[in-house]
Amino acid sequence: MTDQPRTPVQSPQSGHAALAGGRRFPEQGVPVIAGVNWLGLWTLYMKEVRRFFKVQTQTIWAPAITTLLFLVIFTVAMGRGNRIVLGVNFATFVAPGLIVMGMMQNAFANASFSFLSGKMQGTIIDFLMPPLSEGELMLAMIAGAMTRAVLVGCALAFAMAWWPGVSLAIAHPWAVLWFGLNGAAMLALVGLMSSIWADKFDHNAAVTNFVIQPLSLLSGTFYVVSNMAPSFQSISRLNPFFYVISGFRYGFLGRSDIGTTNLAVLQGALALGVLNAVLAFVCYRILRSGWKLKS
């Protein structure tokens, strides 16, 4: 009878249920999306970008102005008398370090907010329910944080280019891209893991105040580490922020305090890439375990 509902007929060979009309739909538990869910990944990425872009005055322009004040203060305080550092005036020396420092700090701020706000507001299910794998979820969140970092970096570079005495001529474009993007990715990964670990905003603020800020300010942003005592030089070279800032500065100036040769910069770039790979693996395993997210 044509007015009777069609019932599924199980096909043991195909593992799919078939309707009487010939249509098939997947068995329960059989994934519909094969491979990478590009649409879902792009959707989550755009959600993250639109989230911070709706309040761009707070997330992009305010951090850029705050970091620009460092340039103003330190240039006035330490740049008098045409002080030369690494063959350039002090303003040109400190500008690249401030740009990448602003990028890293804002990458951390963006990545450390999403999961934490979801846990605090009870909306974490919005991240866990969509058909996204742990790798896709991590990639979208990191890409969103890196996008904010790049926008802050561009805003800072535009503003600093107008400051008297600052030259942002690029000597090695590959170094600017590699150290800038890898520095943002490193802090985005740390921020995402901090967001998973934290139970309240005070926990996240503690990581910022006692880990991120000290490592940023003690990384050679405002000085050359070779001028320090040997013991402090050794400590500085254990700081991954040092390699990001010095390598990024090398891209502009063609000189760096990582080492006296270009090989030392390449070794720093390789070490930074390996560190990011390790952080990505750890972050992926944490997401896959569901620790503090699914419990």
Residue 163 has a pLDDT of 86
Of the listed ranges 58-72, 126-140, 223-237, the least confidently predicted one is 223-237
Tell me if 104 is assigned to some domain: yes
Show Cβ contacts of residue 261 under 8 Å, excluding neighbours closer than 6 positions: none
Q: The tokens of 143 are what?
A: 């890409």
pLDDT at 275 over 60: yes
CA distance 253 to 91: 12
Tell me if 253 is assigned to some domain: yes
Tell me if 131 is assigned to some domain: yes
Show Cβ contacts of residue 118 under 8 Å, excluding neighbours closer than 6 positions: 124, 126, 127
Residue 172 has a pLDDT of 94
**CA distances for 111 relative to 93, 252, 284, angstroms:** 29, 27, 14
pLDDT at 107 over 60: yes
| Domain with 96 in it | 37-288
* Average pLDDT of span 128-141: 91
Tell me if 192 is assigned to some domain: yes
* Cβ-based burial of 248 (10 A; exposed 0-12, middle 13-18, buried ≥19): buried
Residue 292 has a pLDDT of 85
Tell me if 12 is assigned to some domain: no
- The chain-wide mean pLDDT, for the chain, equals 86
Return the C-alpha torsion angle 129, 134, 135, 139, nearest 10. 60
Tell me if 89 is assigned to some domain: yes
Tell me if 2 is assigned to some domain: no
Q: How far apart are the first and last CA of the chain?
A: 50
| Residue 131 or 294, more confident | 131
Residue 29 has a pLDDT of 64
pLDDT at 242 over 70: yes
**Global pTM?**
0.86
Domain count, the chain: 1
CA angle 75, 76, 79 (to 5 degrees): 50
Q: The tokens of 40 are what?
A: 């879902």
Residue 218 has a pLDDT of 86
pLDDT at 81 over 70: no
32-36 long-range Cβ contacts below 8 angstroms, 24+ apart? 32/131, 33/131, 36/136
Tell me if 250 is assigned to some domain: yes
Strand partners for 192: none
* Average pLDDT of span 124-136: 88
